[in-house]
A and B are shown apart, each in its own frame.
Chain A
Amino acid sequence: MSKWLHRVRSWIVHTVWRRRFERELNDELERHFEQVRTAHVDAGSDSTTATREAERSLGGPLVRVKEEVRDHVGLTYLDDLRRDIVHGMRVLARNAGFTAVALTTLGLAIGFGVATFAAIDAWLLKPLAFPAPDQLVVGLYATQERPAEPAMFVLHRDFDGWRGRTPSFSAMAGMFPREYLVDGRPQAQTADGLIVTGEFFSVLGVPPLLGRTLTASDATGAPVVVISDGLWDRRFARSPSALGSTLSLNGVSHEVVGIMPRGFEVRLLDHVRGFDLWTPLRETDKAGGKGGVAILGRLRAAVSAEQGQRELAALHQETEASFTPNAARFPILLNSLQADYARLIRPTLLTCAAGVVALLLIAATTVGTLLIGLGMGRTQEVAVRAAIGGGRGRLLRQFLAEGLLLSGLAGICGLLVTQAAIAALEAWNPFEMAPATPMRLDLRAGAVALAATAVTSVVCGLVPALRLAATEPIGAIRAGGRAASRPGARRAQTALLVFQVATSVVVLVATLLLGRSFQRLQSAPLGFTVDGVTTVSLALPAQEYDEAGRRLAFYGALEAQLLGMPAVQHVSASTALPLSAGSPAAIHLNDDPLAAILTARAQEVTAGLFETLEMTMAAGRGFTHEDTATSRPVVVLNERAAAQFFETVHAALGQRLRVGDDVWREVVGVTRNTQAGTYNSMAWVTDAKVYVPLEQSAGAVRSPTVGYRPLHIHLRADTSLSHEYLRELIASASPAVAVTAITQVSDELRRATKQPAVRMMMLGAFGAMSLFLATLGIYGLVAQGVTQQARELGIRQALGASSQRMLWRVTGHAAAVGTGGVFIGVAVALWLAASLQPVLYGIEARDFASFSTAAALLMAVSAVAALVPARRVFHLNLAEILRRD
């Protein structure tokens, strides 16, 4: 090892101070020579004898000894390498067009590849900023239908029952999010809060920046809060006096006891930007046992998440058995914290990674193919070099040096592309959330760039080198450099092109599958209109607006003002956004406490909601202004709920049910089903839904994760409304009410389908590039064939060969390549398509339209790419060709 270190150091020294090395070597040897010669002359020898003796002593003539020394130290190889690189530069400079195409192709491919890696690294690989982050896990309930997706919080009673009985965990905390309404001037604001048990901060192992974190003793006593660096900045302008001051959260005064450092971020479910503040979980937060928590655990060293999950599942079986017989309905799901963060975008990242690897291979093979073409033009040069004694190995080295040079330059271009791609990705932010560790062009990404460069250089340097080094000198010289291609080179080129066409087919099929899924997703009927609907989301202080009458009064005043705006046609309000399903609620059909629990998504709505969103009734009626606090309590279901609870839509009318602990209500209408987005998968879901009039609300609908009264006001208008004006309107109505968002529902729809769109666009870009590269390759193949066979073709033409035969002669090979590639590509795509299933919607993985379109497109493009250069056979001028020889 140290021997090699010495060698490398010595090479570097000798290369950098090469002149000094030569001078000293010369001095040393000449002194030896002179001394011996002088000694012999002094002893009486004649000059010739003395010189001969001196040379004998030195071991040979001075020049040869020097050469031998250089050889022994390995400088000969270094000299050769330098010559190869200089020669390679000349070759690349001479073929500027080729070099530009090759560098662009490889540079883009390497750049996209490294940028994709940087994204994957930041999301999936780089450890989170906690001590021993791989031991951190998040636990939630899933459903039996989708056991890999978190669906529900773990009930408090379960969590409390498991604590202290989990040897796989060194510590375990519970947490659930709650949005807080924070007092402020001039207008109240909302903040993302996380309610945590006392172990939360010790599980994570991060000390506070100022003050203290929360402990178990905070569950009782005066309310306290720990705030984030961001909230400290926004609210207290980083003043240390923030410690000890109070924040009014949902109307309750909390003392600030700690401030967490910048970068302290725990995400949970759809809270992808972390939280603003943390409050201790108190008995009153348990919502009478109906609420639940996400488990944040720290596993003991060498315990896997699967082991932890098995342990909790066993406890779950045991505790559930004492409550209900159907414990298995909600299997516990334990994920590493990092995997949980990336759950939403993992499919996108992996799709991109597959696309970019295919692109890199295609780019390298294209350049390799073009290099073979370039090399064929140089067959004569190579042959002459071989004939005058340039050894095979020497030639091989030279081609490798050229491939290396090309890929090295492409690697540098690639790093620039990476830098730009990362900046663009951050600006575009297709995932609408940043990774917990930022994307960076660091050493790890650099190593990947180096590896990608090595792969490309092997592919595009070694293949032509091996082919050309096997050139037979005499034949090539005689053939004047446009030798009928040798079978070896021909085979290599054919194999590369078939591979390229096949890969293009695979990428295109994937793009089309995603594209058609996206189109299905977008054109799926939602059951309501999104056009021209603006939603103003409000947070009402819970104490002040707990009474339905006060909320109604607040809304009534606003409604009148909003309807006064000329552009506004419909105004209504609800407690859920149009694209969200609503709060989960238990449904009771009778008074039997042992009856199976039915659930549905519930929301409170005003009379005009169905009209505003253009929802249609399947049976019965919607709400009217006759449905008041004093009239008979009523409820409207959707078709799914009606079918689930009462078998048919019409059977549901006139039936009675209770929503949660609410009063008995009569079913007066059934709406058509509407779709809702799921926060983490590519699909619309149709839940069972119940609608309760806001006027008759008695606390039936309440979300445990929101500490205030949410109210979404929906406006349908001809023109877009000024957000500024809407905010002013709310502020003048009440400074204690916060505007949490003003959104166009159509924007919400776009956001819900953004992931599939991003995946489709990225794969589409890869697909387009690979198609372009395959076209380039086939074009090059045919063009090269025409050039090489020009003389033969010219003679055939002169002898009266038909145009068709001539055309077939030059395009036959390309046709075979295209057809073969398409067949292989379709076969591989059929084999791979099943793995795309999770990101498809509304179509089969083996969708006939996608496969046939991709195949037809590739065939058509191959035909054009082959026919354009092939047309040259019609303009061959035999006299000119022969003159050139």
Chain B
Amino acid sequence: MSRPNDLVQGTLEVLVLRILAHEPAHGLSIAQRLAHQSQHALQVSQGSLYPALHKLEHEGLLTSEWRQSDQGKRAKFYTLTRAGHRRLAAETATWERLSNAISAILKPEVN
């Protein structure tokens, strides 16, 4: 039972929340968008996608239901809950603060 370390796991969860913030999606389409949006850089950690989805649902950040997908097949769609939106906003803010700080350290000449 290999588990990704906390940083990767945490990042993956935020990315999933980010993707679902636009519209509900099923596992495969989330995986595809993850690969697409990160220019395939994050494909390695896809292994934890389903555990992450179920954990987020378990914590009440997502809900799920079975629906018809675009291809006309039944699939389990995940939707962001209000708690999920709140979490995403909080994580985004934290991330922005952190990345600004790092940017400031790495590119001091910009100022």
Candidate in A2, A10, A32, A73 with the most chain B CB atoms within 10 angstroms:
A32
| CB pair A24 B76 closer than 8 Å | yes
Assess whether B54 is interfacial by the CB under 8 Å rule.
Answer: yes
If A24-B76, A31-B75, A71-B1 touch, does A6 touch B58 (CB 8 Å cutoff)?
Answer: yes
In the complex, B50 has a CB within 8 A of chain A:
yes
Residue B96 at the chain A interface, CB threshold 8 Å? no
Contacts of B58 in A (CB 8 A): 6-7, 10, 72-74
Q: How many Å lie between the Cα of A5 and that of B47 in the bound state?
A: 28
Encode A50-76 as 1/0 by CB contact (under 8 A) with B.
000000111110001101110111100
**Interface flag for B107 (CB, 8 Å):** no
User: For the complex, what is the distance from the CA of A56 to the CA of B35, rounded to whole Å?
Assistant: 13
Contact call A2/B83, Cβ cutoff below 8 A? yes
Given A24-B76, A35-B28, A73-B54 in contact, is the A59-B60 Cβ separation under 8 Å? no
Determine if B54 and A59 form an interchain contact, defined as CB atoms under 8 angstroms apart: no
Contacts of B10 in A (CB 8 A): none
Q: Are A72 and B83 in contact (CB under 8 A)?
A: no
- Closest CB in chain A relative to B71 CB, distance in Å: 8
**Cβ-closest chain B residue relative to A35:** B28
- The docked-state distance in angstroms from the alpha carbon of A6 to that of B55 is 11
Residues 25-36 of chain A, each 1 if its beta carbon lies under 8 Å from chain B, else 0: 101110110011
Q: Are A32 and B28 in contact (CB under 8 A)?
A: yes
Find the A residue at minimum CB distance from B48: A59
Within 8 A of A (CB), among B48-102: 48-52, 54-55, 57-60, 66, 73-76, 83
Q: Which of B28, B47, B57, B75 contacts A59 (CB 8 A)?
A: B47
- State how many angstroms separate the Cβ of B42 from the closest Cβ of chain A: 12
Contacts of B1 in A (CB 8 A): 64, 67-68, 71
User: CA A35 – CA B75 in complex, angstroms?
Assistant: 11
From A2, A6, A7, A65, give the contact of B50 (CB < 8 A).
A65
- The answer to whether the Cβ of A3 comes within 8 Å of any Cβ in the partner chain is yes
Inter-chain contact A71/B51, CB cutoff 8 Å: yes
The interface residues of chain A, by DSSP majority, are classed as helix
A36, B27: Cα distance in complex, Å: 12
Shortest CB distance B3–A (Å): 8
Is the Cβ of A68 less than 8 Å from the Cβ of B48?
Answer: yes
Complexed CA–CA distance, A651 and B1 (Å) = 103
Cβ–Cβ < 8 Å partners of A35 in chain B: 28, 73
> Does B31 touch A at the CB level, under 8 Å?
yes
Inter-chain CA distance A28–B59, complex, in Å, is 19
Complex: how many Å from CA A582 to CA B52?
85
Among residues of B, the one whose C-beta sits closest to the C-beta of A21 is B54
* Complex: A27 Cα to B64 Cα, angstroms: 14
State how many residues of chain B have any CB contact under 8 Å with chain A.
Answer: 24
In the complex, which residues of chain A have a beta carbon less than 8 angstroms from the beta carbon of B50?
28-29, 58-59, 65, 68-69
Count how many chain A residues have C-beta atoms less than 8 Å from C-beta atoms of the other chain. Answer: 29
One digit per residue, 1 when the CB lies within 8 angstroms of any chain B CB and 0 when it does not, for chain A 71-110 equals 1111000000000000000000000000000000000000
Give the distance to chain B from A35, nearest Cβ to Cβ, in Å. Answer: 6
Once bound together, how far apart are the Cα atoms of A36 and B55, in whole Å? 23
A6, A35, A72 interface centre (most CB from chain B within 10 Å): A72
Query: B47 contacts which chain A residues (CB < 8 A)?
Result: 58-60, 65
- A68–B31 CA distance with the chains assembled, in angstroms: 17
Point out the residue from B48, B49, B55, B73 that lies within 8 Å of A31, measured CB to CB: B73
Please name all residues of chain B whose beta carbon is closer than 8 Å to the beta carbon of A24 when the two chains form the complex: 66, 76
Q: Are B51 and A28 in contact (CB under 8 A)?
A: no
Give the CA-CA distance A64 to B55 in the complex, in Å.
16
Contacting residues, chain B, for A10 (C-beta < 8 A): 57-58, 60
User: How many Å lie between the Cα of A69 and that of B1 in the bound state?
Assistant: 10
- Give the residue among B59, B66, B74, B83 with the most A Cβ atoms within 10 A: B59
**Considering the chains assembled together, what is the distance between the CA atoms of A68 and B52 in angstroms?**
10
Taking CB atoms, residues of chain A closer than 8 Å to B28 are 31-32, 35-36, 57
- Distance between Cα atoms of A28 and B64 in the complex (Å): 11
Chain B, 3-39, CB within 8 A of any chain A CB: 3, 27-28, 31
**In the complex, what's the smallest C-beta–C-beta distance from B9 to chain A, in angstroms?**
10
Complex Cα–Cα for A558 and B77 (A): 99
Question: Could you pull out 16 A-B pairs where Cβ atoms are within 8 angstroms?
Answer: A2-B83, A3-B60, A6-B58, A6-B59, A6-B60, A10-B60, A24-B76, A25-B54, A28-B75, A31-B28, A31-B73, A31-B75, A32-B31, A57-B31, A68-B1, A68-B48
Q: A6-B60, A28-B50 are in contact. List 16 more A-B contacts (CB 8 A).
A: A7-B58, A27-B76, A31-B74, A32-B27, A35-B73, A56-B46, A59-B46, A59-B47, A64-B1, A65-B47, A65-B50, A69-B50, A69-B51, A71-B1, A73-B58, A74-B58
Which residues of B line the A interface, CB within 8 A? Answer: 1, 3, 27-28, 31, 46-52, 54-55, 57-60, 66, 73-76, 83
Question: Using a CB–CB distance below 8 Å, which chain A residues touch chain B?
Answer: 2-3, 5-7, 10, 24-25, 27-29, 31-32, 35-36, 56-60, 64-65, 67-69, 71-74
Q: Which 3 A-B pairs have the closest CB atoms?
A: A59-B47, A6-B60, A72-B51
